[in-house]
Structure 1
């Protein structure tokens, strides 16, 4: 039986003998983002399972599916933990820019926190097409990646003590809020994430329990699939194709290996 560490490395294409350090975490994040899609198909197809290390390994690392933030950042948490880091998982709330308000599902975004040389960083692989692709320090310093610019600033509010801001390539001219999170209340056990999954599955304001969504970062941008459309950002060019159910399954297999 392969270990979780071996399975993760095989899934995202990291050599089994490569030592994972803070300096190559950006490579880990980029490979993960370009390999494992952000998707809600288990919820739409009513086949969710309890959130456990074994179930996540089976679903994402062996069956080659994707997942939502509470799944994707948890497998990253487990991988980091097995490679000498001391990560913690914290909860946050995303900002809905169409409605100009915080998500009605509350603090259901899950993200990793690590500390390196006395500085805390968020490490996020579960934010769809908005991924920083690099650790982002909680110092307010701007991090630049192939996906845009990102920074975390201290901001005490009912939603936590920090906010992530982003300015995505191709999409944003100005900074916008990604999410707020609470660094002071780490998740104690993975089993707590079953509460998050239950909210995402059942809440009337959940964005992930109504129609399929599959998205992934690519070398040239990103691709996003719903039940009615397929959108591609290639370099700075946007194309959108209206699709039917047959085309949905073709694209799901061709672009996302699902």
Structure 2
């Protein structure tokens, strides 16, 4: 089973040409990030998110819901494969907030994309990171190349590793510094391994996704709900922070500003 492309394009508000070109890829990635919010509500209410394409279409396309990295990038990978792109799935280690020398498990999914007949090489694509520093456009997989896309600057750096595969590190420019977002190697991740990583993230008692975490990127800014803390970042960089403690206020916020119709059982964390 594959995702219905017409329904998917309607969901993200996209009506471009379907030829598998770099311009199409760039436009689709941006539209997806704007159109489908990042959220982990299923995990919070005690459910492991399904990565079956039928379930992903029902939730992220037909339903007023979003998802986290495994869901979002699994859905996007299927769309791109249907359009004719070459897609390789990589599992990565999130480095945001990591201590120096800390090695985290591979709990993130990114995509390596090849544009057919283009000869441009491979691009890193990620529609499931969610944060204000996340990719909005494909990033050429060329070490050290700085690329600005939709006002955000990114680059990939290579690290020597103890094992046989070099480690690629995605970095984002934040103020006057480069921050590390995620690291990965170029060994393709089979679907069973992705499923295990998804289960681990959803069930491990120390997983950061056991608390409510919702994000939405808009053309004029970014919204992030972390537990009961709502952070609004305007396009000019202005930041406002407020608390959401009331269950009804939380539901109204999710529906009106994040575009999510939450299932029963979602409450603010005390």
Same fold, judged at TM 0.5 (above) = yes
Counterpart of 2:251 (choices 243, 249, 252) is 249
Match of 2:55, SS state, is: helix
The CA deviation at 1:152 is: 1.1
TM norm structure 1 = 0.89
The residue number in structure 2 matching 1:151 is 155
2:180 maps to which residue? 177
CA shift, 1:115, in A, is: 2.2
Q: Do residues 187 (structure 1) and 189 (structure 2) align? A: yes
Q: Residue in 2 aligned with 1:239?
A: 240
Q: Distance in 1 between matches of 2:177 and 2:93?
A: 21
* Partner residue in 2 for 1:26: 26
Residue 161 (str. 1) matches residue 167 (str. 2): yes
1:203 aligns with 2:207: no
> Aligned equivalents of 1:160 and 1:179: distance in 2?
14
After TM superposition, the score normalised by the length of structure 2 is 0.85
Look up the SS of the partner of 1:128 in the other structure.
coil
Residues 218, 107 of structure 1: alpha-carbon distance in 2 compared, 3 angstrom cutoff: same
Judge conservation of contact 2:154–2:171 (CA < 8 Å) in 1. Answer: yes
Distance verdict in 2 for CA 1:3–1:69, change over 3 Å = closer
Residue 111 of structure 1 corresponds to which residue in structure 2?
110
For the residues of structure 2 that align with 1:64 and 1:233, how far apart are their CA atoms?
23
Contact 2:16 2:24 in 1 (8 A): no
Figure out how many residues of one structure are paired with residues of the other and give that number. 251
| SS state at 2:209 partner | coil
1:66-101 Cα distance to aligned partner (Å, 9 max, x none): 111111011110000001101111111011336445
CA distance in structure 2 between the partners assigned to 1:156 and 1:69 by the alignment: 26
Question: Take 2:233 and 2:19, find their aligned partners in 1: how far apart are those partners?
Answer: 33
Q: 1:75 to 1:108 in 2, by over 3 A?
A: same
Matched residue, 2:83: 83
User: What is the CA-CA distance between 1:226 and the residue it aligns to?
Assistant: 3.1
